[in-house]
Amino acid sequence: MPSFNKVILMGNLTRDPQLKHLPNNLVVAEFGLACNRRYRTAAGEDKEEVAFVDCAAFGRQAETIGQYCAKGKPLFVEGRLKYDSWDDKSGNGKRSKLTVTVENFQFIGAKGDTEFPADMFTTSGNGADARRDDRDAADAPGKSADRWNGEPPPDSPRKRKRGTAQQPFGEEKQFEEADIPF
């Protein structure tokens, strides 16, 4: 039976991205987005509702989001929904949460904005670029390992080892190899 899982959001970060490292040295950035919707009721009253969405980015994207994004900054995100469930530590039953696993993102703002380097706004717009494995990017002739300026951040390795995550976030949240978007 066919299915489709695609999320497109644009909003402001509700908190600074929290960077974590999985046992296989893969970086995870967890952050929240606030997405506003303005509308007019049948009575002509202007209303606004806010959806708060938890997001997780992996690898190079996580490093970039962690470096350049902060609470209140706008961000455009493409990804997929992921459902997590776990047993509550205090014995109050099962807990669950929907998160967006980021597959692609784009900074929002003016090109001359001093918060981001100007060349960061020349992304390819191709989701395959963002999901590409770092090893493929480093080994492919003529292809850049970094989406924006051709050079990886100085503190990040070009190649990553893959492994199985074992209790990276305690009992409340587990990431497995199949959860990583590339």
Q: Which residue has the higher pLDDT, 159 or 78?
A: 78
**Chain-centre distance for alpha carbon 72:** 16
The residue to which tokens 């893959």 are assigned:
162
List the end-to-end C-alpha distance of the chain, in Å, as a whole number: 23
Q: Round to whole Å and give the CA distance between 166 and 26.
A: 13
Q: Which residue has the higher pLDDT, 147 or 80?
A: 80
Question: What percent of the chain is predicted at pLDDT more than 90?
Answer: 53
Q: What is the pLDDT of residues 92-105, one digit of tens each?
A: 889 999 999 999 99
Q: How confident is the model at residue 181 (pLDDT cuts 50, 70, 90)?
A: low
Q: What is the pLDDT of residues 38-81, one digit of tens each?
A: 999 999 999 999 999 999 999 999 999 999 999 999 999 999 99
Question: What percent of the chain is predicted at pLDDT more than 70?
Answer: 60
> Residue 182 corresponds to which tokens in the numbers above?
């590339």
pLDDT of residue 58: 97
pTM: 0.61
pLDDT of residue 119: 47
Q: What is the pLDDT of residues 105-131, one digit of tens each?
A: 999 976 555 455 444 443 333 333 333
- Please answer whether residues 63 and 25 qualify as being in contact, where contact means their C-beta atoms are separated by less than 8 angstroms: no
Q: How does DSSP assign 79-137, residue by residue?
A: EEEEEEEEE-TTSS-EEEEEEEEEEEEEE-S-TT-TTS-GGGG-----HHHHHS-HHHH
pLDDT of residue 4: 95
pLDDT of residue 140: 36
> Residue 109 corresponds to which tokens in the numbers above?
């703002």
Alpha carbon separation from 160 to 9, 65, 97, 101, 137 (Å, rounded): 29, 18, 28, 19, 12
Check the CA dihedral 133-135-141-143 and report its sign.
positive
Q: 12-16, 68-72, 155-159, 170-174: which has the minimum mean pLDDT?
A: 155-159
Domains detected in the chain:
7-179 (2.40.50.140)
